[in-house]
């Protein structure tokens, strides 16, 4: 059973998040382990597996990237995050320079203007990647999606790193 | 005293709050929650146990012995549950107990009753509560739920579970304290929306953010500090009183424990009064609320930092929180209340007694678990989360997280890894818990070697590590190595608390105390006592070597060396232990000396007379 | 544990952090990335007339093990010939056998970076 059927959602990449939430809660009210505390050990084991599946499914569908990777998988394209590698291409060069900008920012004590600038650049890239992914999914051009997923992974990472570094800096000055 | 004469058809289901300072139990009868009272109508049971040679007393009675027999009166054991000896040495440098390391790097207490572990102490407290329940209801306990701090790591939770099993209370699950409090408020006060639970107890701090819906209470995120609470306020105040009093008394166990008790009662009085008079030995003085506030403000700020980090983690603003629930005795402190209220910009909910709310929530929860499926009217499902990330060690000391903190439970996750070297036939699997990038900064849960891997090129082997975490937050690990389909299932049950690699540094750091520091003074005194004892013993041995056998001498020398080593290492616990052991092994020697002295003097007298 | 200490040391005190001028004809640059961890690694080698790698440097953004790997690799290639460096395998550094596992991409990333740097150098030489 795939996660879309589990949560009673149409098998499309774009989902109704509110409906996902509602159906998630409905499933929890039905299959949560606390409801089966008096049942046999074998029943409890089955329920535990089901409950884990519900939580995993929810996590997968709720998050854009995870949903994208999952959707690809459903369409026959197994993307293992761990083995994706990129080499010497333009994307990496531009991405690397973003990190260099972050280094500069650190040296300049997170100058407000530059910080906002960098944040916006990264956010724009993320939005762009997401829009592209949605588009390619609509056109069922799955191979193209794989490349953009790599890029999105990178941008989400640098967004996190920027946030962390900024917080560390704020803590230090307080 | 309520005493039911005949057995009820109703199951006896208990919700138990095993707290740092106090423990209590509650149950649901006829749709209302009742707290279990003792013979004197008290619902609180001090989490204190006193060990005499053939008797164990728990609670108020044990508390009476705390200053007379501090070595054998264990209090706040929750702070020591699941902790390694090194952690205890660092964080609690001057405990009055005789603490030794056990074979698993954990600790045990040497008491008059015998060797007791923190699990034993906790089980004795639970047994007392069990007795209370059985006496009140004249029936055995059918099932119980014990609450634990949400931020407890896997060890601490498992040790709590073990204590429950030892005490025979039919534990069916553990429940996180803030979640239990949310249940109490959610059901009793019918709160809906996003709530934040601020739980500051005797030894632990938890903050949980929950979304209360009809039928579902979902924990969105949780954080805390499992070593921060009211006890720290007591310690800080004790140090302050010590400084103020400028007493030159000997800092022995009695002094230390009395000081701590005075600090505790002063703290409690300061909740009611702005200025409190303090009598400590010969000293009489005052502590004002203002002074106390200055002493504890840093601790409170720490809790608010944790809150603010948590809000940021899930992108929530203070305005989006509908209610802030105060839990735990320490939230009664006026400064805690004002600072938390200021931070969250709202009035705080404390209408349910902060001492009782966790037990009440636990009782409600266990009652719901057993009510029939058809009766879904007031049933609530609790969706809790993982408080600390779970991972394994990779490539020489880094942590690769497999399950991230704040993941909904139950959950399982599998990740693939590979070998580093060609023809590597064994793989070291080290499971850790924590948020840091390096293994040495995290909590070590389990460590073992997976052998007999088929030798092949590095990077080809596929190791699949699967973590499964159930609703209790307890962890199960499965390792599968692809090519040989060797499976190793481990339930993290071993008490293997590893030595931190940096331990010598940690100990060094912990010993950097200023000369005025109370802890420093206590340690120095103990050191002086040890040195003096060794000197006296050495002198006596030089003179009266002939009195004892070679075997006995060997024993004494051995213990002397151990004590000498403790002194050199500046290890307080070790000094205490070895000093006591040296007393024991040299007892016979000293009594022989005394006898010899008497004999000699009587011979002298006879000789004198004969001359 | 000899293994851990060495790796930890390279993480806490990484050697050869920096960059050479990429236009320099004796410099080969390799840039690799692993999206799962967001690791991006730039490795550069400076080769002399005899085909020996005189110097190497790196700049890595990403997880701790990626930083430690790149530091280790730059130390390792120094003084080696191009041919030797090309056949790099993650072998010599370690003496212990009970080793913790590695992340899949970490075992390849540093190698790929060196190989990319070498082919960049070779390409420059041809042109």
CATH number at residue B552: 1.20.1270.10
Q: Which CATH architecture has domain C3-124?
A: Alpha-Beta Complex (3.90)
pLDDT at B505: 37
Round to whole Å and give the CA distance between B191 and B185. 7
Same domain, B395 and B362: no
Domain region containing B367: 2-229+295-383
Long-range contacts of A47-55 (CB under 8 A, 24+ apart): A48/B410, A48/B470, A51/B410, A51/B471, A52/B410, A52/B411, A52/B412, A52/B468, A53/A6, A54/A6, A54/A24, A54/A27, A54/A28, A55/B407, A55/B408, A55/B409, A55/B410, A55/B411
Read off the pLDDT of each residue in B382-408 and give the average, rounded to a whole number: 91
Q: Which band of pLDDT confidence, cut at 50, 70 and 90, is reported for residue A84?
A: confident
Q: Which residue has the higher pLDDT, B411 or C10?
A: B411
Residue C80: CB atoms within 10 A of its CB come to 18
Assigned superfamily of A3-62: DnaJ domain (1.10.287.110)
Structural domain boundaries of chain A? 3-62, 80-173
Please list every residue in chain C whose beta carbon sits closer than 8 Å to the beta carbon of residue A88: 30-32, 116, 120
3-state secondary structure of B188: helix
Read off the pLDDT of each residue in B593-603 and give the average, rounded to a whole number: 80
Largest CA distance in chain A: 63
pLDDT at B499: 33
pLDDT tens digits, one per residue of B203-251: 999 999 999 988 899 999 999 998 999 999 999 999 999 989 888 777 8
- What's chain B's average pLDDT? 87
pLDDT tens digits, one per residue of B290-334: 999 999 999 999 999 999 989 988 999 999 999 999 999 999 999
Minimum-distance CB partner of B427 among C7, C90, C99: C99
Maximum mean pLDDT: which of A102-116, A130-144, A146-160, B122-136: B122-136
pLDDT tens digits, one per residue of B41-76: 999 999 999 999 999 999 999 999 999 999 999 999
Q: How many domains does chain B have?
A: 4
Q: Which band of pLDDT confidence, cut at 50, 70 and 90, is reported for residue B104?
A: confident
Round to whole Å and give the CA distance between C103 and B420. 9
pLDDT tens digits, one per residue of C88-112: 765 544 444 567 887 777 667 888 8
| Residue B337 pLDDT exceeds 60 | yes
pLDDT at B482: 65
pLDDT at B4: 52
CATH number of the domain within which B136 lies = 3.30.420.40
Query: Residues with Cβ < 8 Å from B381, sequence gap 6 or more?
Result: A28, A29, A32, A34, A35, B215, B216, B217
H or E stretch including B519?
A: helix B518-544
Its ipTM equals: 0.90
| Sequence-ordered strand ranges (E) for B434-550 | 443-450, 463-469, 475-481, 486-491
- What's chain C's average pLDDT? 83
Q: Is C63 a catalytic residue?
A: no
pLDDT at B2: 60
- Provide, rounded to the nearest whole percent, the portion of chain A with pLDDT above 70: 98
Q: Which band of pLDDT confidence, cut at 50, 70 and 90, is reported for residue A7?
A: very high
Catalytically active residues of B are 17, 78, 177, 199
pLDDT at C93: 42
Last residue of a domain, one of B367, B383, B399: B383
CA distance C5 to chain B (A): 8
Kindly report the backbone phi and psi dihedral angles of residue B357, in degrees, each rounded to the nearest multiple of 5, phi listed first: -55, -35
Q: Which residue has the higher pLDDT, C20 or B514?
A: C20
Q: Is C37 a catalytic residue?
A: yes
pLDDT at B187: 81
Q: B146-160, B295-309, C28-42: lowest mean pLDDT where? A: C28-42
| Mutation site, C14, C100, C104, C107, interface B, largest B CB count within 10 A | C100
| Inter-chain touch C99–B420, beta carbons under 8 Å | yes
| Residue B271 pLDDT exceeds 50 | yes
Q: Which residue has the higher pLDDT, B341 or B395?
A: B341
SS (H, E, C) B54-100: CCEEECHHHHCCCCCCHHHEEECHHHCCCCCHHHHHHHCCCCCCCEE
| Residue B429 pLDDT exceeds 90 | no
Last residue of a domain, one of B359, B383, B407: B383
Minimum-distance CB partner of A86 among C35, C103, C104: C35
Read off the pLDDT of each residue in B528-541 and give the average, rounded to a whole number: 90
Yes or no: domain A80-173 corresponds to CATH 1.25.40: no
| Mutation site, B410, B435, B470, interface A, largest A CB count within 10 A | B410
CA distance A49 to chain B (A): 9
Please list every residue in chain C whose beta carbon sits closer than 8 Å to the beta carbon of residue A86: 32-35
pLDDT at B495: 34
String of DSSP letters for C21-85: -TTSTTEEEEEEEETTTTEEEEEEEEE-TTSBEEEEEEEEES-HHHHHHHHHHHHHHTT-BHHHH
- Provide, rounded to the nearest whole percent, the portion of chain B with pLDDT above 90: 60
pLDDT at B483: 53
CA distance C13 to chain B (A): 14
Q: B96-105, B147-156, C101-110: lowest mean pLDDT where? A: C101-110
| Residue B5 pLDDT exceeds 80 | no
Read off the pLDDT of each residue in C18-42 and give the average, rounded to a whole number: 89
Last residue of a domain, one of B322, B352, B383: B383
pLDDT tens digits, one per residue of B549-577: 889 999 999 999 999 999 998 888 889 88
pLDDT at C6: 78
Number of residues in chain A: 174
CA nearest A161: which of C11, C61, B221? C61
Instruction: Pick the residue from chain B with its C-alpha nearest to A171.
Output: B305
Please list every residue in chain A whose beta carbon sits closer than 8 Å to the beta carbon of residue B312: 167
Q: Which band of pLDDT confidence, cut at 50, 70 and 90, is reported for residue B93?
A: confident
Given a contact cutoff of 8 angstroms between Cβ atoms, the answer to whether B90 and B506 are in contact is yes
pLDDT tens digits, one per residue of B463-517: 888 899 999 888 888 887 765 555 555 444 333 333 332 333 333 343 444 445 6
| Residue C65 pLDDT exceeds 90 | no
Model's pTM, two decimal places?
0.86
């Amino acid at each position: 059973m795939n996660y879309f059927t589990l949560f009673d959602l149409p098998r499309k990449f774009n989902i109704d998040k509110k409906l996902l939430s509602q159906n998630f809660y409905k499933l929890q009210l039905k299959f949560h382990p606390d409801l089966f505390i008096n049942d046999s050990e074998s029943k409890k084991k089955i329920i535990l597996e089901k409950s884990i599946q519900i939580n995993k499914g929810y996590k997968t569908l709720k998050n854009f990237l995870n949903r994208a990777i999952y959707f690809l998988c459903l369409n026959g394209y197994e993307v293992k995050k761990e083995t994706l590698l990129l080499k010497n291409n333009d994307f990496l060069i531009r991405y690397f320079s973003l990190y260099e900008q972050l280094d500069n920012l650190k040296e300049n004590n997170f100058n407000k203007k530059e910080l906002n600038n960098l944040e916006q650049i990264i956010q724009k890239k993320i939005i762009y990647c997401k829009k592209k992914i949605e588009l390619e999914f609509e056109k069922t051009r799955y191979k193209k999606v794989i490349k953009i997923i790599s890029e999105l992974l990178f941008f989400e990472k640098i967004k996190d790193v920027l946030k962390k570094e900024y917080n560390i800096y704020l803590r230090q000055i307080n | 005293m309520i005493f039911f004469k005949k057995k009820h058809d109703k199951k006896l289901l208990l919700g138990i709050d095993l707290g740092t300072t106090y423990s209590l139990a509650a149950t649901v009868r006829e749709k209302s929650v009742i707290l279990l009272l003792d013979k004197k109508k008290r619902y609180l049971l001090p989490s204190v146990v006193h060990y005499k040679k053939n008797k164990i007393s728990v609670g108020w009675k044990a508390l009476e012995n705390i200053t007379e027999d501090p070595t054998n009166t264990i209090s706040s054991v929750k702070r020591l549950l699941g902790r390694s000896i090194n952690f205890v040495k660092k964080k609690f440098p001057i405990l009055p107990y005789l603490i030794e390391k056990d074979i698993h790097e954990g600790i045990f207490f040497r008491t008059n009753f015998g060797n007791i572990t923190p699990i034993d102490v906790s089980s004795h407290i639970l047994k007392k509560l069990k007795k209370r329940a059985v006496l009140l209801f004249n029936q055995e306990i059918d099932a119980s739920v014990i609450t634990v701090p949400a931020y407890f790591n896997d060890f601490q939770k498992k040790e709590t579970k073990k204590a429950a099993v030892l005490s025979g209370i039919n534990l069916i699950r553990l429940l996180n304290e803030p979640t239990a409090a949310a249940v109490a408020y959610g059901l009793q006060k019918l709160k809906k929306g996003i709530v934040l639970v601020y739980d500051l107890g005797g030894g632990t701090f938890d903050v949980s953010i929950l979304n209360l819906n009809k039928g579902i209470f979902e924990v969105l995120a949780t954080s805390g500090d499992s070593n921060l609470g009211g006890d720290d306020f007591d310690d800080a105040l004790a140090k302050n009183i010590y400084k103020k009093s400028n007493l030159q008394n000997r800092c022995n166990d009695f002094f230390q424990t009395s000081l701590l008790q005075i600090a505790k009662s002063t703290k409690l009085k300061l909740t009611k009064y702005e200025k409190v008079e303090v009598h400590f030995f010969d000293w009489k003085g005052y502590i004002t609320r203002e002074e106390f506030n200055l002493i504890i403000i840093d601790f409170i700020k720490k809790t608010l930092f944790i809150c603010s980090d948590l809000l940021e983690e899930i992108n929530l603003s203070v305005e989006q929180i509908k209610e802030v629930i105060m839990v735990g005795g320490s939230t009664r402190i006026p400064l805690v209340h004002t600072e938390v209220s200021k931070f969250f910009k709202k009035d705080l909910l404390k209408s349910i007694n902060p001492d009782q709310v966790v037990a009440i929530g636990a009782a409600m929860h266990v009652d719901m678990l057993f009510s029939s499926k058809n009766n879904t009217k007031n049933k609530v499902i609790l969706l809790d989360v993982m408080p600390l990330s779970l991972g394994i060690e990779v490539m020489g000391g880094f942590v690769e997280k497999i399950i991230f903190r704040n993941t909904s439970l139950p959950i399982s996750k599998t990740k693939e890894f590979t070998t580093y070297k060609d023809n590597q036939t064994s793989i070291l699997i080290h499971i850790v818990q924590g948020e840091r990038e390096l293994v040495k900064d995290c909590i070590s849960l389990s460590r073992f070697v997976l052998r007999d891997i088929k030798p092949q090129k590095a990077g080809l082997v596929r190791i699949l590590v699967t973590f499964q975490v159930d609703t209790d937050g307890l962890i199960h690990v499965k390792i599968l190595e692809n090519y040989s389909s060797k499976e190793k299932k481990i339930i993290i049950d071993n008490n293997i608390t590893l030595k931190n690699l940096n331990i010598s540094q940690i100990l060094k750091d912990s010993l950097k105390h200023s000369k005025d520091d109370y802890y420093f003074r206590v340690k120095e005194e103990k050191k002086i006592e040890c040195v003096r004892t060794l000197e006296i013993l050495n002198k006596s041995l030089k003179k009266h070597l002939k009195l004892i056998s070679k075997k006995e001498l060997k024993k004494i020398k051995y213990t002397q060396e151990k004590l000498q080593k403790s002194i050199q290492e500046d290890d307080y616990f070790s000094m205490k232990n070895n000093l006591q052991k040296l007393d024991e092994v040299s007892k016979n020697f000293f009594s022989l000396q005394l006898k010899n002295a008497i004999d000699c003097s009587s011979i002298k007298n006879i000789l004198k007379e004969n001359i | 544990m000899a293994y851990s200490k060495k790796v930890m040391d390279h993480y806490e005190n990484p050697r050869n952090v920096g960059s050479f001028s990429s236009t320099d004809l004796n410099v080969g640059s390799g840039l690799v990335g692993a999206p799962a961890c967001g690791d991006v690694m730039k490795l550069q080698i400076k080769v002399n007339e005899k085909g020996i790698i005189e110097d190497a440097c790196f700049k890595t953004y990403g997880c701790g093990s990626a930083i430690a790997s790149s530091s280790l690799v730059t130390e390792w290639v120094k003084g080696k010939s191009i041919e030797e460096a090309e056949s790099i395998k993650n072998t010599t550094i370690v003496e212990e056998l009970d080793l913790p596992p590695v992340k899949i991409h970490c075992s390849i990333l540093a190698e790929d970076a060196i190989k990319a740097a070498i082919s960049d150098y070779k390409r420059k030489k041809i042109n």
